[in-house]
């Protein structure tokens, strides 16, 4: 009899726990509340997103208290949308308290948003903007009280790359033939960061009245080895005609730097090299003069904003649909300050 009363009591306590537990597991031994956070990154094998995801994890840790813990599960989308869709489905089944997603394909944003919204789980999209704020044809894609995007405006990073070249005494015309002839090494073409950086770096030059000519424009998918291959073959084909190599990110610029060195060319003397992200290696290269400039893609600011917003959302506090973090221009004068 006693046993039965006890188990009824226990069942009652558990039911109250379930009913009260709109988000977060109660009842860990020390009484702390644990929130479950699901994070899907488009691809672990990406320099910048590795820094970003490590910082997400580290920052969540710093926000833990005796009463509140975060169980963060980070999965690798392996650059495959089907894999990522499965991961999001699993997060939904696991009843995550919040999902942070770095989309593999921005064109799948709506499908992912619809699923997560239907499950009533807050969704923080990061790094790959589901166009909406910066492209009116997608306006409204994030208009839901539990969905937001945290990122940086890629147009700004492109503009900064172009301005670094524009502000040099020779305005980027290294061989003095009157035209800035360039090689463009692009990231994943489906990614707005790649599209905008490609467009706005050159726009900053043409807006300043500088004549430009594109010699090569190829996709390097953010990868160092691809950056090296594209730069090497461009250097073989066009030699000293090339004034500038623009790379949509630093990973590819590191590859291009190796090709420039192998071709016996000298950054700052007969060629210029630009990237985006401000990886430590590239900041060192700018100090050493083997790279012209980059743009800080603030993974600390972005990851902290994403986590802060995720925590607000899981607590049921209201959030905005967009959070923007600024880029910072990084050239020789900046690094030698």
Instruction: Tell me which residues touch ligand GAL (CB under 6 A).
Output: 42, 46, 48-49, 127-128, 187, 191, 193, 222, 249, 251, 276-277, 297
Minimum CB distance to ligand GAL smaller for 142 or for 174? 142
Tokens of 28: 């860990």
Main-chain phi, psi angles of 123, to 5 degrees: -130, 125
Of 301, 296, 297, nearest to 330 by C-alpha is 296
- CB-based contact 333:117 (threshold 8 Å): no
Residue with Cβ nearer ligand GAL (36 or 127):
127
Angle between helices 47-62 and 299-314 (to 10 degrees): 50
Task: Report the nearest approach of ligand GAL to the CB of residue 326 (Å).
Answer: 13
For residue 283, the cross-strand partners are none
256, 227 contact by CB (below 8 A): yes
CB of 154 to ligand GAL, least distance (A): 7
Q: Judged by CB, which is closer to ligand GAL: 296, or 313?
A: 296
The total of other beta-carbon atoms located within 10 Å of residue 143's CB is 10
Give the residue with the Cβ less far from ligand GAL, 172 or 251. Answer: 251
Which residue's CB is nearer to ligand GAL, number 51 or number 215?
Answer: 51
Least separation, in Å, of the C-beta of 130 and ligand GAL?
A: 13
Residue whose C-alpha is closest to residue 60's, from 92, 31, 34 = 34
Residue 198 CB, nearest approach to ligand GAL (Å): 12
Nearest-approach distance from CB 262 to ligand GAL, in angstroms: 23
């Amino acid at each position: 009899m006693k046993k039965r009363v006890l188990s009824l009591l226990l069942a009652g306590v558990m039911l109250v726990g379930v009913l009260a537990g709109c988000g977060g597991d109660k009842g860990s031994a020390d009484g702390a509340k644990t929130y479950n956070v699901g994070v899907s990154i488009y691809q672990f094998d990406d320099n910048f997103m590795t820094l970003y995801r490590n910082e997400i994890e580290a920052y969540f840790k710093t926000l833990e208290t005796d009463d509140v813990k975060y169980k963060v599960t980070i999965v690798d989308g392996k650059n495959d949308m089907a894999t990522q869709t499965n991961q999001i489905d699993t997060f939904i089944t696991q009843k995550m308290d919040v999902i942070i997603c770095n989309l593999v394909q921005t064109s799948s944003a709506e499908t992912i948003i619809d699923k997560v919204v239907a499950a009533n789980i807050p969704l923080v999209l990061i790094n790959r903007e589901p166009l909406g704020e910066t492209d009116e044809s997608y306006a409204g894609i994030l208009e839901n009280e539990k969905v937001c995007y945290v990122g940086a405006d890629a147009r700004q990073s492109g503009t900064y790359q172009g301005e670094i070249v524009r502000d040099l005494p020779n305005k980027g015309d290294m061989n003095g033939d009157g035209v800035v002839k360039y090689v463009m090494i692009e990231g994943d073409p489906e990614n707005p960061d790649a599209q905008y950086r490609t467009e706005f770096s050159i726009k900053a030059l043409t807006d300043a009245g500088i004549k430009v000519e594109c010699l090569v424009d190829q996709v390097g998918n953010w990868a160092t080895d691809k950056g090296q291959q594209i730069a090497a073959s461009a250097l073989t084909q066009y030699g000293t005609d090339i004034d500038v190599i623009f790379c949509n990110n630093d990973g590819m610029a590191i590859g291009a730097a190796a090709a420039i060195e192998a071709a016996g060319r000298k950054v700052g003397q007969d060629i210029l090299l630009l990237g985006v992200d401000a990886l430590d290696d590239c900041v060192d290269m700018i100090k050493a003069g083997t790279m012209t400039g980059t743009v800080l893609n603030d993974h600390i600011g972005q990851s902290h904003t994403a986590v802060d917003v995720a925590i607000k959302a899981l607590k049921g506090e209201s959030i905005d649909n967009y959070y923007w973090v600024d880029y910072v221009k990084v050239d020789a004068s900046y690094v030698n300050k």
